[in-house]
Amino acid sequence: MEREDPLERIERRERERKQGGNAKTIMYVMIAVAALLAAALAYVLYQKNSLVGQLNIEKQELTEQIVALQGDYEALSSDYDSINLQLDSSREEVAQLVERIKKTEATNRVKMRQYEKELGTLRSIMRGYIVQIDSLNQLNHKLSVDAANARREAAEHRKRSEELSAQVEDLTGKVVTGSVIKARGIRMEAYNNANKVVDRSKNVARLLVTLSLVENALAEQGPIRVYVRVKDPDGNLLDDGRNTTFVLDGQTLAATASREVDYVGQEVELSIYVNNIPSYTKGIYTVEAYTTQARLGEAELMLR
């Protein structure tokens, strides 16, 4: 067997030693790379799990906000039909958004951002409803206050009008009452054919009634007729044959005699003769004087 040259053997061993060292180095490098890769993978997985967890938290928060908004919409009410119709539509949109976000994965960032925008829009719409309802409520309150004030003012005006009407009616009544012509000094005397005053019934030819219409500036001026009703001791109305009548308070009365005078608001005296009475008896004769406005008064005459 050929002996190996010592120098070659040394070189061969040196080569083998180097080759072994290189293999170990490569192995150590590969282990280090593997460790780095494992660490990187672990970090990636950790980051992914952390991101997924954060996304799930964000989804949960967004879901809670949408559900809270849904409750706010349910609690919002209105007395106006047009707004109620809009509220119903918005409530349906919120309900659909709740269902969609529950069915969407938290990692779907595009959808999550879309839902956030829809949430913001629905919040803005709700604020608009609140402002609109508040404005309408304030307007209705103002209108209610204005209506109440108008009713109160109308009632006050009506009351004042009634008071004024009553005052006018009272004053009118006073004016009417004050405008009625009155008389004083009513007297009845008996005369014979010689035109002398007598008191024996058998000597009486005619009766004379005298009176004065008193001054009254409120009374209507112009011609006025005074009527007398003379009754005998038995209460029978004397009739001079002229069938004179007049109306007082809607009732037609017969008169014994009458006379017209021109009344100008000043006191005026007048005399009314009662003629054409066939005979007189003993007793008390009464006379009542009238105008078509009122009873003026009465007087008596005793015949023997």
The backbone torsions φ and ψ at residue 223, rounded to the nearest 5 degrees and listed phi first, read -65, 135
Question: What's the pLDDT at 84?
Answer: 86
Question: What's the pLDDT at 26?
Answer: 74
Question: What's the pLDDT at 6?
Answer: 67
Question: What's the pLDDT at 174?
Answer: 46
How far is Cα 239 from Cα 256, in angstroms, rounded to an integer? 5
Of the candidates 174, 185, 176, the residue with the CA atom closest to the CA atom of residue 289: 185
How far is Cα 294 from Cα 236, in angstroms, rounded to an integer? 22
How far is Cα 36 from Cα 40, in angstroms, rounded to an integer? 6
Question: What's the pLDDT at 112?
Answer: 84
Can you give the pLDDT of all 304 residues of the chain as single tens digits?
Answer: 456 566 676 677 777 666 666 667 777 778 777 777 766 665 555 555 565 677 788 888 888 888 998 888 888 888 888 888 888 888 898 889 888 888 888 778 888 889 889 889 988 888 888 888 888 888 888 888 888 888 888 888 888 878 877 775 655 444 455 678 899 999 999 999 999 999 999 999 999 999 999 998 888 889 999 999 999 999 999 999 999 999 999 999 999 999 999 998 899 999 999 999 999 999 999 999 999 999 999 999 999 9
Helix and strand element counts for the chain (H, E): 3, 10
Residues 262 and 223 sit within 8 Å (Cβ to Cβ): yes
SS3 128: helix
Question: What's the pLDDT at 257?
Answer: 96
